[in-house]
Amino acid sequence: MALSRLKGAGLAVPDGVCLTVAAYARYFQQPGVKERILLELYRKRAKDLRWEEIWDAAHRIRNVFLSVPIPPEMHDGLLQQLEERFGSAPVVVRSSSPQEDSEKASFAGLHDSYVNIRGAEAVLDHVRMVWASLWSDRALLYRKELGLAMDRSSMAVVIQELLSGDCSGVAFGVSPVDESLGVIEAVYGLNQGLVEGSVVPDRWTIARGTGEISAFQPAERKDALRPGPQGVASRPLDGAQRQSPPLDEEGVSSVWEMVLSAERVFGSPQDVEWTRCDGRIYLLQSRPVTARRRGEEDDERVRYFKLSRSFDNLRSLRTAIEEIHLPEMERTAAEMSSVALEQMGDRDLAEEIHRRKLVHDHWVGVYWDQFIPMAHGVRLFGQVFNQVMRPRDPYRFVDLLRDTPMMSLERDRLLRHLADMVRGDPDLRSELDRGRIPGDHSGFNRVMQRLLEAFGDLTWQGVRLVDSQAEIIALVRQLADEPAKRERESDRDAKSLAEEFVAGFEINRQPYARELLDLARASWRLRDDDNIYLGRIEGQLRAAVSEGVDRILAKGIQVPQPPDPGEVAKALRDPGYRPRTIRSDTAVGAGRVVPRQIVGQPAGRGVVRGTARVVTGFSDLSHFSRGEILVCDTLDPNMTLFVALAGGIVERRGGMLIHSAIIAREYGIPCVNGVPDAASIIRTGDDITVDGYLGIVVVHGGAADRGSGMDPGPGGRRQQEEAVPMGP
Amino acid sequence: MVGDNTERQIRRMLTGQRVGVLATSQEGSPHVCLIAFAATPDLSRIVFATSRSTRKYANIIRDAGVTLLVDDRANREEDFHRAAAVTAHGTAREIAGEGEGERRLFLEKHPYLGDFVASPTCALFEIQVQRYFLVSRFQNVVEFKVPR
């Protein structure tokens, strides 16, 4: 054990207890732990897992750790040892990879640490959570990208007395960019903030030869993490601290001395975490500096940390999105829609297309940098909820988020309103059936107008809703055929569940619980709304492009579909230019191998058997019949129009918190997502079962079988192959 | 006694192995697949689970006659003298509602299948075994009738 060797060598190390890798193994090897986790992880090939699915797998795996207790004899032994050693003093529970193991498999902060935990029972609970962090999404992704086995699992846990240091940091015995240098970073308070990237450190570069400071890079000092009533809390620094670095020169040289001592003990430059308490520098953790270039790894750190946002970070993200970005997007879209495109000359239109392309690209960037991370509000809440409530269903928390108004639901409400009108008015219906736009049924036209005004700018695959009235009317007619409105799952329990959740916290932590729930609801709502705002901007880009396309076509020049904005702009500027195809669809050949049972993610409860309708473009809307199973590559939020009609949903993209899952839960429709190649494997007309409990899609038979001239018989019984999984 | 020994060997095989080969009948043609199973201590019943959209489920609903093969081969040459196999003939029946005991029996042996069994689309079955055939030492075959 690294720390005991350091202590033996005379370094100051906080008092602690180590739970070895053997303790982890003993827990992990229990019946029902290891195999449950590996079954979860091996449902799909690693390369088919999107990060959202990895988060889902990690979320369910974490629930295994939360629900399976430490074996009784082991628990009792540890409890006694911890009580004797720490009593009710606050401790830190942190992961500690064995030295020989850590070369590549981890870095500071990859796995979770819990600071300021009191009482042996609570410590043991947190030990399980540290073990679980070996399977967190960022740990799994990190191992996946490094080409390490994702199921590699071995971890020691250190329980140390909490040193409430006045300043803390990390230090590298050798610098990433120059082997003749070392690096020290320091922040006020605990080093949690530095390790997680939420507090920016002061940074010193040390000449390894002389131990002299060769460069100093001060930080903009604002906050420090300090022990709170439980865990840590961010506190603003006072004026004096903002003005001066956390370490003076003497402090820097004591930290450097310690780094060199650790290097002597282990025989190679070390990556250490340290804290200063009562004037003394303590070493908290030591690992060898990895062989890879540190600079590269620092970038990666940032990337992996982006996968889990802190509460404070999410709060400021929410403010920025709600108060700055969304209003600005709305203004931008409104400003663009007021431009009279048809009055522009070709050159000006080309300029306008170019400008809108840049605006759209900008917002796509914001979407990825800010809106997508905002989804972590839901993830963070899910994690805390499960920790507090320990529910059987790891997605129980979603029930608490659902009753928030979403824009797509508002749009669907307008659609249903139209359908109600058609249902109650035979004249209106027969006019629509004859393909006429209704005349004086003023109510109908008014609601239709409202729908188009509010959502007409939305696009899907380059087609704007406002240009698709025929499809909308076809949809409304189908909705009108539906006898009763589909019952939404009851929200009855949501309120009492929320109260139960808040009551699971100590009184002084309950405001945090409420605020977290509020944040999660905002995150849930924004993840839907942001797509609609972005859709509006894309709609404006498309409007300009389609104006351009019309003009080019009028000159008798062909434009490949879908039109590329850059190509259209070029053709407008240069009358001799012929637009090229930028992307081509991949053809899927009919093979001798037919998938029969495909594993995805259970994303909406329920089971349904029906006919598949593969939806690849807006025109499929008019063909969609009630009860068919909607199969798509990516369920665009703007496609949720279809969902009211669908008997079930199958999607290639996977995740419990993406649109198909959200909408399926809203409507209570069976949904399986994360089905690799769903839209190309499954054909329109296939007879399929969507099992939204187990997350599988069964292809009983369909177009291909019938096409072969072979009689499939009732229920497609005569298939030659079936991919029945082993065991069940 | 031969009888006691046979019963013991069958029990050892059924507790030692996790997975067996289930044969169902599809319009006169056999259909076989691997299943996870657990046998009751008196050997009279064997419990397994399947999703309702599988072929074996559809087959059993039409024809409840099934056969289960359980063996301990290791894919080595010595299997021919060393390996043994148990073939159970019986009738499959879906356990609806009441089957708490069967569920527990199954999950004690396969704790990692808890989520699977809990799914409403998963059906728990028991095979009521009429007789077993124990094959050992390459060609020794003994029939064991389950006492009723």
A586 in a structural domain: no
**Which of B36, B55, B115 lies at the smallest CB-CB distance from A727?**
B36
Residue A458 banded pLDDT, cuts 50, 70, 90: low
Cβ neighbours of B42 (radius 10 Å): 11
CA distance A379 to A396: 13
Residue A34 shares a structural domain with residue A63? yes
- The answer to whether the CB atoms of B36 and A722 lie below 8 A apart is no
A650 and A614 Cβ atoms separated by less than 8 Å = no
Q: What is the pLDDT of residue B17?
A: 97
CA B66, chain centre distance (Å):
9
A436 in a structural domain: yes
Residue A84 banded pLDDT, cuts 50, 70, 90: very high
* Residue A446 in tokens: 């008014």
The boundaries of the domain holding residue A328 are 311-403+491-573
Q: How far is B26 from chain A (nearest CA, A)?
A: 9
> How many folded domains does chain A comprise?
5
- The answer to whether the CB atoms of B111 and A36 lie below 8 A apart is yes
Mean pLDDT within A84-96: 90
* Residue A528 in tokens: 């839907």
- The answer to whether the CB atoms of B121 and A35 lie below 8 A apart is no
Locate the domains of chain B by residue range: 2-140
Helix (H) / strand (E) containing A387: helix A376-389
* Residue B131 in tokens: 């007789």
For B36, name the nearest residue in chain A, comparing CA atoms only.
Answer: A727
CA distance A493 to A516: 19
* Residue A361 in tokens: 């690209």
- The answer to whether the CB atoms of B58 and A715 lie below 8 A apart is yes
Cβ neighbours of A125 (radius 10 Å): 18
Q: What is the pLDDT of residue A293?
A: 41
CATH number assigned to the domain comprising residue A230: 3.30.470.20
A578 in a structural domain: no
A17 and A4 Cβ atoms separated by less than 8 Å = no
Q: Kindly write down the DSSP assignment for every residue of A246-268, as one continuous string.
A: SS-HHHHHHHHHHHHHHHHHHTS
Residue A657 pLDDT > 60: yes
Half-sphere exposure of A461 (CA within 13 A, CB side): 16
- B26: burial class by Cβ within 10 Å (0-12, 13-18, 19+)? middle
Residue A415 shares a structural domain with residue A390? no
Residue A200 shares a structural domain with residue A346? no
CA dihedral defined by A269, A107, A198, A17, rounded to 10 degrees? Answer: -90
Long-range contacts of the stretch A139-147 (C-beta < 8 A, 24+) = A139/A58, A139/A106, A139/A110, A139/A111, A140/A41, A140/A54, A140/A57, A140/A58, A141/A51, A141/A54, A141/A304, A141/A307, A142/A106, A142/A110, A142/A300, A142/A304, A143/A105, A144/A46, A144/A49, A144/A54, A146/A104
Could you give the ipTM of this predicted complex? 0.82
Cα-trace Rg, chain B:
15
Residue A172 shares a structural domain with residue A285? yes
Mean pLDDT within A250-258: 94
Residue A108 shares a structural domain with residue A231? no
Q: What is the pLDDT of residue B56?
A: 95
A206 in a structural domain: yes
Fold classification of B2-140 is Pnp Oxidase; Chain A (2.30.110)
A590 in a structural domain: no
CA distance A554 to A572: 12
Residue A705 shares a structural domain with residue A601? yes
**Which of A36, A597, A698 lies at the smallest CB-CB distance from B112?**
A36
Check residues A438 and A174 and name the one with the higher pLDDT: A174
Residue A175 shares a structural domain with residue A294? yes
Residue B138 pLDDT > 80: yes
Residue A193 shares a structural domain with residue A62? no
CATH number assigned to the domain comprising residue A668: 3.50.30.10
Check residues A17 and A591 and name the one with the higher pLDDT: A17
For A35, name the nearest residue in chain B, comparing CA atoms only.
Answer: B112
Q: What is the pLDDT of residue A305?
A: 46
Residue A2 banded pLDDT, cuts 50, 70, 90: low
A112 in a structural domain: yes
DSSP assignment, residue A339? S
Chain B contact present for A141, CB below 8 A: no
CATH number assigned to the domain comprising residue A33: 3.30.1490.20
Cβ neighbours of A267 (radius 10 Å): 8
**Which of A693, A717, A724 lies at the smallest CB-CB distance from B54?**
A724
Q: What is the pLDDT of residue A350?
A: 94
Residue A67 shares a structural domain with residue A125? yes
- The answer to whether the CB atoms of B54 and A597 lie below 8 A apart is yes
CA distance A272 to A183: 11
pLDDT (tens digit per residue) in A274-330 = 999 988 999 988 877 764 444 444 544 444 444 456 777 788 889 999 999 999 999
**Which of A538, A573, A608 is the last residue before a domain boundary?**
A573
Residue B2 banded pLDDT, cuts 50, 70, 90: low
pLDDT (tens digit per residue) in A39-82 = 888 888 877 777 778 888 888 899 999 989 999 999 999 999 99
CA nearest to A269, candidates A256, A278, A259:
A259
Chain A contact present for B64, CB below 8 A: no
Residue A470 shares a structural domain with residue A432? yes
A728 in a structural domain: no
Residue A104 shares a structural domain with residue A23? yes
- The answer to whether the CB atoms of A696 and B51 lie below 8 A apart is yes
A340 in a structural domain: yes
Residue A22 shares a structural domain with residue A151? yes
Mutate to test the interface with B, among A693, A697, A700 (most CBs of B within 10 A): A693
**Which of A452, A481, A510 is the last residue before a domain boundary?**
A481
Residue A721 pLDDT > 70: no
For B122, name the nearest residue in chain A, comparing CA atoms only.
Answer: A694
